[in-house]
Amino acid sequence: MTRSIAVGFDGSPSATRALRVALALARDAGATTWVLHARGMLEERTAEPAIPPVVSETVTELGLDPERVRWRVENGDPCSVLLRSVAPPVEAEILVVGRRGHGHPEGLLVGSTSLQLVEHARVPVVVVPPLDE
Partner 1 sequence: MSPLVLNADYGAQAHEEAGHPERPARATAALEGVADLHLGGDLVVVGPRAARREELARVHAGGYLDELGAFCYAGGGDLDPDTYATADSWSIAVQAAGAGLAVVDALAERGDGVGFVVTRPPGHHALADRAMGFCLLNNIAVAAAHLIEAGERVVIVDWDVHHGNGTQSIFWDEPRVLYVSTHQWPLYPGSGTPAEVGGPRALGRTLNLPLPPGATGDVVRRALESAAPVVESFDPTWVLVSAGFDAHRADPLADLALTSGDFAALAALAGGFAPGPGRIALFLEGGYDLAALRASTTASLSALLGESSADEAPTSGGPGAEAGPAALEQFWRTVEVLASSEEDAR
* Contact footprint for partner 1 (CB under 8 A): 10, 38-45, 74-81, 84, 104-105, 108-111, 113, 116, 119
Four-residue CA torsion sign, 52, 53, 59, 62: negative
Q: Which is nearer to partner 1, 56 or 75 (CB)?
A: 75
Report the amino acid identity of residue 30.
G
Strand ordering across the sheet containing 125-128: 69-75, 32-39, 4-8, 94-98, 125-128
Nearer to partner 1 by C-beta: 1 or 110? 110
* CB of residue 8 to partner 1, shortest distance in Å: 12
CA 83, 50, 20, 43 torsion-angle sign: negative
Residue 3 or 120: the one with the smaller Cβ distance to partner 1 is 120
Find the shortest distance in angstroms from Cβ 108 to partner 1.
Answer: 5
